[in-house]
């Protein structure tokens, strides 16, 4: 999460410390349990257990009494784990006796074809270098329209590369165009997010659909498909389920880059344990990725009126805040935009999105990019999309089949068209 609905592996620190050339992580004979706390005392037991061992991996944040939590447990830790649950009378259900087998049963088509022989397309997922090469080609082929931008750097020295799109120039009738900022892939394993971001880039440049042409021509776009490049590379080379950055923290690696932004940092919905998938980091903006990206966005202050963050999964549309149940002062406008946007996402394929303010719609989660943009950068419209699928199963959630990239992206773009129209009608682009 991601603000994502974190149905995820909080990966083994020993394995996580491996270099990118290491063998792929496997979860043979690991078990998956679903647990549920019935009172505050049981919830505290689970909070203490989260991050206590790199062999007990929480796939959900431990936030609310009564909420289901999926946990993956290494074979040698199963007796200790069940003993803790038994002593605290915490109910549990075994969901998988062999996590690796369950993962292998999912058909995921991931093509990694050479750029020289295959044109960039949306029938497959791409590695980072493929997408970066494509972005560079776009800038070369579309001078004056596409400008390559570097939104920041990573711990391992990679660029956070994106494009600025100014179709028809940067002004309309002598006024600067309103700006729309879109970042994706801040959680590494959510592959559909960067794929959808590149689809949107392509449509803005090539579509003949009138509503999309207007979207391209009436706004200045800033699109960063990969806000966490190191993590994304790691999902290709070593562990498909990696979520965080790759910064070393003792024997563990990475912080959750969507809990690391400097707005009510680590107040709720994040962990202080470096082994946790929702580790907020040792301080706000401790991660080079979030610090450098925030500086880039700060340089655009006053130029961006709509901020979008793409995640997966669960089919939610979310708006501030994540750190509190208090609502934004312009919540009535957020609700209008929300209603128009989820109605539009439903029209093409009947896909149903739900959502609302982050804290109530999914769970408390402080330190997210959307909250920071809204709370510190005067971006009065900021939204997070949790894309397909709707499933709450870990095994299908992050592994969206490649044949769904196009439909998921089409309906997303339908929604963004409606969103921009509503935001404009409310005067936020004036």
Using CA atoms, how far apart are residues 29 and 429, in angstroms rounded to an integer? 54
Question: If DSSP codes are grouped into helix, strand and coil, which group holds residue 14?
Answer: helix
Question: Which residue among 289, 386, 411, 422 is the active-site one?
Answer: 386
Using CA atoms, how far apart are residues 391 and 333, in angstroms rounded to an integer? 29
Question: If DSSP codes are grouped into helix, strand and coil, which group holds residue 379?
Answer: coil
Using CA atoms, how far apart are residues 185 and 412, in angstroms rounded to an integer? 15
| Residue 105 a catalytic site member | no
Q: How far apart, in Å, are the Cα atoms of 199 and each of 122, 223, 249?
A: 7, 11, 35
CA dihedral 299, 430, 221, 149 (to 10 degrees): -20
Long-range contacts of 426-430 (CB under 8 A, 24+ apart): 426/333, 426/336, 426/337, 428/178, 428/305, 428/306, 428/333, 428/380, 428/381, 429/178, 429/219, 429/305, 429/306
Using CA atoms, how far apart are residues 367 and 132, in angstroms rounded to an integer? 28
Using CA atoms, how far apart are residues 152 and 230, in angstroms rounded to an integer? 12
Q: Is 320 within 8 Å of 328 (Cβ atoms)?
A: yes
Reference 156, options 128, 181, 183; nearest CA is: 128
**Residue 409 C-alpha from the chain's centroid:** 15
Reference 38, options 76, 118, 92; nearest CA is: 92
**The two structure tokens encoding residue 348:** 């093409």
Reference 373, options 429, 313, 321; nearest CA is: 321
**The two structure tokens encoding residue 211:** 């509503």
Using CA atoms, how far apart are residues 20 and 247, in angstroms rounded to an integer? 13
Using CA atoms, how far apart are residues 261 and 373, in angstroms rounded to an integer? 9
**Residue 365 C-alpha from the chain's centroid:** 13
Reference 61, options 336, 272, 370; nearest CA is: 272
> Annotated active-site positions, please?
386
């Amino acid at each position: 999460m991601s603000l994502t609905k974190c149905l995820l592996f909080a990966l083994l620190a020993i394995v996580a410390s491996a270099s990118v050339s290491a063998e792929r992580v496997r979860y043979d004979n690991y078990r998956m349990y679903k647990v549920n706390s019935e009172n505050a005392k049981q919830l505290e037991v689970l909070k203490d257990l989260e991050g206590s061992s790199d062999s007990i991996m929480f796939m959900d944040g431990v936030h609310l009494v009564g909420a289901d939590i999926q946990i993956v447990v290494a074979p040698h830790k199963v007796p200790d784990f069940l003993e803790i649950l038994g002593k605290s009378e915490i109910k549990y259900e075994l969901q998988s006796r062999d996590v690796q087998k369950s993962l292998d049963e999912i058909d995921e088509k991931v093509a990694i074809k050479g750029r020289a022989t295959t044109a960039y397309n949306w029938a497959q997922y791409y590695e980072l270098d493929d997408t970066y090469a494509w972005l560079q080609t776009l800038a070369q082929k579309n001078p004056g329209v596409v400008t390559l931008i570097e939104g920041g750097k990573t711990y391992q020295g990679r660029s956070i590369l994106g494009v600025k799109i100014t179709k028809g120039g940067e002004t309309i009738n002598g006024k600067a165009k309103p700006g729309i900022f879109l970042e994706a892939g801040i959680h590494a394993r959510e592959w559909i997010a960067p794929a959808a971001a590149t689809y949107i880039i392509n449509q803005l440049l090539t579509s003949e659909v009138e509503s999309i042409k207007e979207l391209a021509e009436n706004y200045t776009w800033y699109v960063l498909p990969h806000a966490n490049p190191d993590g994304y590379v790691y999902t290709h080379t070593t562990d498909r389920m990696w979520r965080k950055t790759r910064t070393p923290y003792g024997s563990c690696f990475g912080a959750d880059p969507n809990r690391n932004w400097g707005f009510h940092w680590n107040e709720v919905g994040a962990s202080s344990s470096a082994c946790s998938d929702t580790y907020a980091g040792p301080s706000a903006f401790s991660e080079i990725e979030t610090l450098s990206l925030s500086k880039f966005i700060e340089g655009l202050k006053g130029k961006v009126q709509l901020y979008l963050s793409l995640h997966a999964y669960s089919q939610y549309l979310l708006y501030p805040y994540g750190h509190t149940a208090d609502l934004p002062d312009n919540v009535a406008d957020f609700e209008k935009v929300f209603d128009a946007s989820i109605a539009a996402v439903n029209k093409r394929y009947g896909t149903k999105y739900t959502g609302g303010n982050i804290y109530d719609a999914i769970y408390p989660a402080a330190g997210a990019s959307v909250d920071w943009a809204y709370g510190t950068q005067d971006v009065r419209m900021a939204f997070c999309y949790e894309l397909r699928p709707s499933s709450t199963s870990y095994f299908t959630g992050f592994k969206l089949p490649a044949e769904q990239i196009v439909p998921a992206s089409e309906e997303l773009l339908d929604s963004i068209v409606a969103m921009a129209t509503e935001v404009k009608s409310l005067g936020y682009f004036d």
